[in-house]
A and B are shown apart, each in its own frame.
Chain A
Amino acid sequence: MNTPLIIRTRNTIHRKRGKDLCVFIPCVFLCILVFLAIYCSLCPVAEAKEYIDISSPAFKKLPIAVSEFTGSPGKEISDIIKNDLDFTGIFLCLEGNAFLENSSQPFKQENWTVIGAEAVVKGSVLGGGEKSLLASVSLYDVTEGKEIFKKEYRTEASLVRPLAHAVANDIYRHLTGEQGIFRTRIAFIGRKGGEDSLSLMDWDGHRVSDLGIKGNVLMTPRWSKDGKRLIYSSERYRQWGIYLLNFTEMTEAKVFSSKGTNIAGDFFPNADSVIFSSSIGGSPDLYMYDIATSKLTKLSSSRGIDVSPSVSPDGSQICFTSDRDGTPQIFIMDSNGYAVRRLTFQGSYNTAPSWSPKGEKIVFSGRQGGKNHIFTINPDGTGLTQLTDRGNNEDPSFSPDGRYIVFSSDRDGDRAVYIMRANGEAQKRITSKGMKAFGPRWSSN
């Protein structure tokens, strides 16, 4: 309101314009507000009912009954859906033997209220032969006593698990209003007989596939934000290089290599630039590298070690490990390399930091009582929380929705990949015994 007054004292021509603006701006503003008011009042009507508010820390688990699907492989599909929903910790999956009706019988509200279910999933595999699969799924709101979602899923017979995960995603989205992660995947390094291979698996550890990229030593797979590219470090005849796998074309390209050690790293949000640690200048420092132009920019410089950079989701900040203060600790700097500040002060060995997808947490591996454990901390240094308490745990990263963390651990012998909820609950090994597995990274989508 002050602005027009100042203009008036300076110039009479501006005074008129100022007066016009004085009327015009509030009018526009009012229009926007009226629109917002109408829009907001419509919000609860236009949006689907939210059954459970998972953003609230005190939410109550939603009792859900996943009825065994009829047909073949109906049971397999409903079991996968149940496992998916169960791991979230958001649902209370009721036991099937208590159900009073099955998937082939018509839905009756009273059969489910009596066992305390608030949502019911029913489905049937309608067949489709040896090559294809057709499943029909319904979701019921027990409170309202009706079907709230029905959909058919068609796929190849070999994609039973992706089909089940797609169903679980739909159910999850209907009940929580958020996107599920049940079709995301995890990249990791498998080590067998002294040879490493870059591998992919579903988020639940099933369907492990070897991407064919072998190396004497492979490390640090890192996804681009669009999930279409992966960078990783590979040692090939005495040289560490950063390589890029393009999933659209299924091709591998060398991004950067030099004498010394080059360790990925992370993508910047625009996916054209990556950051990695390189000792090309003598000591491991952090560099930004533009893939298209091959321009290399040094971002950090210390006499000691700078390694494990992770770019914040908005691309503005980088957290990394450095021993510049004597022991390895986590630091944060602006993405141009300025404003370096130390994040961790507890313990003498804190490494391998990674941002949460919304940027409100950093997960890392810290030494506590002689073992490496997974911790989370806020980027302002508050809220340090230890999440693991067995074995050595490292390589942590968040799931794309920030609700889970994947990491590697030697708690059961050889290094293997584990997942847990972001608060440390439900720690679960997902890679099989007999395969050394480490360096896991959750795909971005």
Chain B
Amino acid sequence: MKRFLACVAIIGFVMFGCAEKKAVAPIPQPGEVTTPSEPKEAEKPKKVPVTEQVTEQQIAKVESGDVPSKGEEISGMFKDIYFDYDKYEINESGKLVLRSVADYLTKNSAHKILIEGHCDDRGTSEYNLALGDKRAKSAKDFLLSLGVVSSRAEVISYGKEKPLCSERTEECWAKNRRAHFVILKGKK
């Protein structure tokens, strides 16, 4: 027990001692010498100063991996469908467009549909990319409910990165909150 008390005493002494010194050391007081000068003398530059070679890694350009070639595409055959702000539910006019898309796919069995999800630019980039994904996915899910096979509908989100309209008005934002349809005729 005596040892224990001794330990406590030493811990207290050490902590108190350290804390006190820390509190005193840093405050810069003009005209007051706060540090003993001995170590400074030892540190004092010798005749030959330290030399640092400042280097930098040369950043070469990296070539991106090869980009697959595009197949033949038809854009603009279907109207864009629109979404409410920060929402990804399909409205009634959207369902009309999607029914005509499903119809087209039934009649053109070699074609696929690509659904692009887009957002207005009021949200932040990453969240909008996920939101665009949900919008395109909602459209795809509706197509699946109409009997379209999953492999014939692809989705891609562009978030707010490919706006149709760049003004900051309600009208413009509404135009950007869209799903856009592209018919993929496949590679020739």
Chain A proximity of B93: nearest CB distance (Å) = 24
Residue of A nearest to B14 (CB): A37
A146 at interface (Cβ–Cβ under 8 A)?
Answer: yes
Do A56 and B26 form a contact, CB below 8 Å, given A143-B31, A154-B51? yes
B188 interface residue, CB < 8 Å from A? no
Residues of A within 8 A of B13 (CB): 37
- Evaluate contact between A263 and B155: CB separation under 8 angstroms: no
- Tell me how far the C-beta of A40 lies from the nearest C-beta in chain B, rounded to whole angstroms: 5
Q: Which residue of the partner chain B has the closest CB to A142?
A: B30
Whether A136 pairs with B157 at a CB distance below 8 angstroms is no
Instruction: Indicate with 1 or 0, residue by residue over A39-56, a CB within 8 angstroms of chain B CB atoms.
Output: 011011110111111001
**Inter-chain contact B125/A438, CB cutoff 8 Å:** yes
Report B-chain residues with C-beta under 8 Å of the C-beta of A351: 123-124, 126-127
Tell whether, in the assembled complex, residue A33 and residue B129 are in contact, meaning their CB atoms are under 8 Å apart: no
**Interface code B42-54, partner A: CB below 8 Å = 1, 0 otherwise?**
0111000111111
Is the Cβ of B59 less than 8 Å from the Cβ of A247?
Answer: yes
Interface membership of A193, Cβ < 8 A: no
Residue numbers in A under 8 Å from B49 (CB-CB): 136, 150-152
User: Are the C-beta atoms of A220 and B126 separated by less than 8 Å?
Assistant: yes
Whether B86 is near chain A, meaning CB under 8 Å from some CB there, is yes
Check B131–A305 contact: CB distance below 8 A.
yes
Q: How far is the CB of B128 from chain A (nearest CB, A)?
A: 9
Task: Decide if A101 is an interface residue (CB 8 Å cutoff).
Answer: no
User: A111 within 8 Å of B by Cβ?
Assistant: no
The CA-CA distance from A49 to B54 in the complex, in Å, is 26
Nearest Cβ distance between residue A208 and chain B, in whole angstroms?
A: 11
Taking A30-B7, A44-B25, A240-B157 as contacts, is the C-beta distance between A308 and B54 under 8 angstroms?
A: no
Asked if B110 is an interface residue, CB under 8 A from chain A, the answer is no
A13, B52: Cα distance in complex, Å: 63
User: A321 an interface residue at 8 Å Cβ cutoff?
Assistant: yes
State which of B25, B33, B63, B114 has its C-beta within 8 Å of the C-beta of A50: B25
Q: A41-B17, A148-B40 are in contact. Are A153 and B28 (CB under 8 A)?
A: no
- Of the listed residues B30, B33, B43, B156, the one surrounded by the most CB atoms of chain A closer than 10 A to its CB is B156
Cβ contacts under 8 Å, B11 to chain A:
33
Q: Is the CB of B51 within 8 A of A254?
A: no
B68 at the interface (CB under 8 A from A): yes
A44 touches B127 (CB 8 A): no
Say which residue of A155, A211, A259 sits within 8 Å of B61 (CB atoms): A211
Residue A245 at the chain B interface, CB threshold 8 Å: yes
Q: Are B154 and A26 in contact (CB under 8 A)?
A: no
Q: Mark A7-45, 1 if CB is under 8 A from B, else 0.
A: 000000000000000000010011001101100110111
Q: Does B77 contact A (CB under 8 A)?
A: no
Given the complex of chains A and B, what is the CA–CA distance between A37 and B11 in angstroms?
A: 9
Docked pose: A153 CA to B131 CA in angstroms: 51
- The reply to whether the CB of A296 lies closer than 8 angstroms to some CB of chain B is no
B17 CB contacts on chain A under 8 angstroms? 37, 40-41
Query: In the complex the two chains form, is B26's CB within 8 Å of A259's CB?
Result: no
- CA gap between A163 and B6 in the complex, in Å: 53
Interface status of B21 (Cβ within 8 A of chain A): yes
Name A280-304 residues within 8 Å CB distance of B. 282-284, 304
Say yes or no: A147-B124 contact (C-beta < 8 A), given A33-B7, A44-B35.
Answer: no
The proximity string for B residues 144-185 relative to A, scoring 1 for CB distances below 8 Å and 0 otherwise, is: 000000000011111001100000000000000000000000
Q: How does the 8 Å CB contact mask read for B10-43 relative to A, with 1 for contact and 0 for none?
A: 1101100110010001111011111111111001
**B3 close to chain A: CB less than 8 A:** yes
Tell me, rounded to whole Å, the shortest Cβ–Cβ distance linking A236 to chain B.
Answer: 5
Most chain B CB atoms below 10 A, which of A34, A49, A321: A49
Q: By the criterion CB–CB under 8 Å, are A45 and B36 in contact?
A: yes
Cβ distance A412 to chain B, nearest Cβ, rounded Å = 14
A282 to B144, CA, bound (A): 13
Residues A239 and B156 in contact, CB atoms below 8 Å apart:
yes
> Is B40 a contact of A308 with CB atoms below 8 Å?
no
Contact of B161 among A43, A217, A250, A279 (CB under 8 A): A217
Say which residue of A1, A34, A279 sits within 8 Å of B137 (CB atoms).
A279
- Chain A residues near B62 (CB, 8 Å)? 211-213, 245, 250-252
Residues B93-123 near A (CB distance < 8 A): 114, 122-123
- Name the CB-closest residue of A to B37: A144
Please judge, given known A-B contacts A162-B54, A212-B63, A219-B125, whether A60 and B156 are in contact too, CB under 8 Å.
no
Which A152-201 residues have C-beta < 8 A from chain B?
152-155, 159, 162-163, 166, 200
26 of the cross-chain contacts (CB-CB < 8 Å) are A26-B4, A30-B3, A30-B7, A37-B14, A45-B38, A45-B39, A50-B25, A62-B28, A143-B32, A151-B49, A154-B51, A211-B61, A220-B126, A240-B157, A250-B59, A252-B65, A254-B65, A279-B130, A279-B133, A305-B134, A307-B126, A321-B127, A349-B86, A351-B123, A351-B124, A395-B125
Known contacts A26-B3, A52-B26, A372-B122; can you find 12 more A-B pairs with CB under 8 A?
A33-B10, A34-B10, A50-B26, A147-B45, A150-B49, A151-B51, A155-B54, A162-B56, A263-B129, A328-B127, A351-B127, A365-B124
A residues near B (Cβ < 8 Å) are 1, 26, 29-30, 33-34, 36-37, 40-41, 43-46, 48-53, 56, 60, 62, 118, 136, 143-144, 146-155, 159, 162-163, 166, 200, 209-215, 217, 219-220, 233-240, 243, 245, 247, 250-252, 254, 259-261, 263, 277, 279, 282-284, 304-308, 321, 327-328, 349, 351-352, 365, 372, 392, 394-395, 438-439
